[in-house]
């Protein structure tokens, strides 16, 4: 019985030691990295320049990036696009008088924000589509419902034209005011990389999509860290 117990302990130790090696094998085979990055969204074009990969000449692609913007957060502070330089951030649109859908979306955003609260590379942004009503004081009260940390979760407002243009031309989602005084807007959570390129859209009311986003944020973090460590 004693030998059997020792044998089990040895097997557990072997498994613990083997798992990291197995995971490494899954990612690298024969020295070739099998890491798969997230796709890019939006229009793209060739830059006319090239880079080499394993001796092969690869044309460089220029992907859609967000335009510069300047908005105001729930604390009344000006927040510009430079705030997110070299950051990964998740964006959604909403308005404070929104029915239950916004509560559901922001409940999911809070879950993500709490999980990444200690990671300074990741930020969350909620932009109102009703900037005439949703001024900083209103947004501050609204953000308090979710105990949002203003250091990593901004609730933003601005002028109507600027917000709507940013939604349509920057984040590539539709936003408009309905005849009943409510607003029609995308329920998507939008993942933006450190170079302000769109890397994913996720239904903010779907647990499956939100879980996928949680995992794909980790994938994007890995990509950004790889860039930092890559030889120049």
Pair 157, 139: CB distance under 8 Å = yes
What would you report as the CA-atom Rg of the chain, rounded to the nearest whole angstrom?
22
Residue 45 φ then ψ, to 5°: -155, 160
**DSSP state letters, 56-102:** EEEEEEEEPBPPP-EEE-TTS-EEEGGGGTT-EEEEEEE-TT--HHH
Q: Which residues are annotated as a binding site for Cu cation?
A: 98, 102
Q: Which residues are annotated as a binding site?
A: 98, 102
The neighbour count for residue 62, using CB atoms within 10 Å, is: 13
The pair of structure tokens assigned to 181 is 């005084």
Mutual orientation of helices 100-115 and 207-229 as an angle, nearest 10°? 40
Pair 96, 105: CB distance under 8 Å = no
Residue 174 makes CB contacts below 8 A (sequence gap 6+) with 167, 168, 184, 185, 186
């Amino acid at each position: 019985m004693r030998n059997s117990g020792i044998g089990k302990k040895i097997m557990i130790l072997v498994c613990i030691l083997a798992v990291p090696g197995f995971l490494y094998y899954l990612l690298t085979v024969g020295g070739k990295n099998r890491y798969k990055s997230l796709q890019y969204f939006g229009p793209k074009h060739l830059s006319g320049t090239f880079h080499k990969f394993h001796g092969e000449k690869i044309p460089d692609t220029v992907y859609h990036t967000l335009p510069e913007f300047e908005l105001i957060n729930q604390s009344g502070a000006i927040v510009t696009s430079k705030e997110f330089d070299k950051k990964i951030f998740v964006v959604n649109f909403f308005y404070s008088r929104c029915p239950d859908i916004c509560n559901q979306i922001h409940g999911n955003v809070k879950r993500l924000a709490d999980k990444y609260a200690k990671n300074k590379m990741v930020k969350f942004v909620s932009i109102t589509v009703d900037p005439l009503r949703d001024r900083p004081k209103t947004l501050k009260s609204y953000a308090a419902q979710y105990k949002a940390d203003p250091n990593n979760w901004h609730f933003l407002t601005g002028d109507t034209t600027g917000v709507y243009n940013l939604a349509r031309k920057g984040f590539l989602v539709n936003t408009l005011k309905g005849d009943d005084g409510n607003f029609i807007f995308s329920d998507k959570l939008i993942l933006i990389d450190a170079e302000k390129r769109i890397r994913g859209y996720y239904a903010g009311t779907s647990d499956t999509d939100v879980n996928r986003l949680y995992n794909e944020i980790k994938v994007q973090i890995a990509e950004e860290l790889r860039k930092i460590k890559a030889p120049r």
